[in-house]
Amino acid sequence: MRYGRVVIFLAAAVVILLPLHSPAPLIYTPGEGWYYELPGQTLNWQRSRARDQLAVAQQYYKERDYTNALRAAYRVVQVWPLSDYAPDAEYLMGLCLEAKHKDEAAFKAYQAIIEKYPNSPRYEEVIWRQYRIADKFLGGEWTKLWNYIPFFPSMDTAADMFDNIVTNGPYSDVAPHAQLRIGVAREKQHDYVSAVAAYGTAADRYHDQPTIAADAVFREAESYRKQAATAEYDQSMAQQAIETYTDFMTLFPDDKRVPQAQKAIVALKAEQVHGAFEVAQFYEMYHKWDGAAIYYNQVLQLDPNSPYAETARRRIEILKPRLHVSEN
């Protein structure tokens, strides 16, 4: 046991001390991590002025040498963070990381531009690039541990990215689309409560943009409908869906999805009737006469011509003598 500990200690010491005795410099670049420049392989990429250093990075990028372009651009940001060339270097870092399929790191590089250089002329372009990256994760792209190891698709990652974009500029051109995508990501998780909230925000905040607002209200109704389908004997979500579909048809009568909304309302009302009838039967089975009568009456109120209506009428007549009578 003692021998094993010694071996582990010596191995750890070698790993820790190796950089101190290595003739090759140890360099860190965001999105790339630590790396050595081996003897004989050192590239002449460092310059003494920010402008020249950026030019080196841009040349590497033009040659599709994204690794060295990234390192050269990072040196601009690290050595001359307040220079006029730093925003372009940060942007180039994002481009390189995208080219290397390290989308999460690229998203963070673009985020750094927004946070550090809010007046950058690239602002709109940057948040649209963030949007396209987030859309990849919405489409199922896998997240990566430490930017290298494929992990799994994550709708949380997609939703967080879209939320970040909206926070960056709630009234930018991209924000309405990003807000809708938050709802889509939550729908894919079957988190319909969060999806409804996201679509509701889009409908309220961007009500002056008819295309966005119509899509938001329709998707909100769809989320309520899906939530109703998962809630046994809970008719409140179905009613919310019906009301939201009705709002959609009232606000956007010319939308091509109006027939779809009408069909959904018919189906939801039929499900409401079926649900009320089943609840009535449940109460009747356990001799809860008043409860049974209430739900049989609800069947008639929801749709007096439904397939359940005639049975509901008969059961109400049979139950009348038993109503308001002690169940003991």
Helix (H), strand (E), coil (C) string for 52-96: HHHHHHHHHHHCCCHHHHHHHHHHHHHHCCCCCCHHHHHHHHHHH
pLDDT value for 145: 63
By the 8 A CB rule, do 50 and 83 touch?
Answer: yes
Model confidence band, residue 22 (pLDDT cutoffs 50, 70, 90): very low
Share of the chain above pLDDT 70, in %: 81
pLDDT value for 312: 77
By the 8 A CB rule, do 87 and 117 touch?
Answer: yes
Kindly give, in sequence order, each residue whose CB lies less than 8 Å from that of residue 246, ignoring residues fewer than 6 positions away.
265
Quick: pLDDT tens for 258-302.
999 999 999 888 888 877 888 888 887 888 888 888 888 887 888
d(CA 73, CA 308): 72
What is the mean pLDDT of the segment spanning 141-146? 69
- Taking the model in full, what pTM does it have? 0.76
pLDDT value for 148: 58
Quick: pLDDT tens for 161-201.
999 999 998 999 999 999 999 999 999 999 999 999 999 99
Q: Looking at this protein, which amino acid is placed at residue 155? A: M
pLDDT value for 296: 81
Residue 120 above 80 pLDDT?
yes
pLDDT value for 260: 96
Residue 254 above 90 pLDDT?
yes
Quick: pLDDT tens for 28-70.
555 445 444 544 444 588 899 999 999 999 999 999 999 999 9
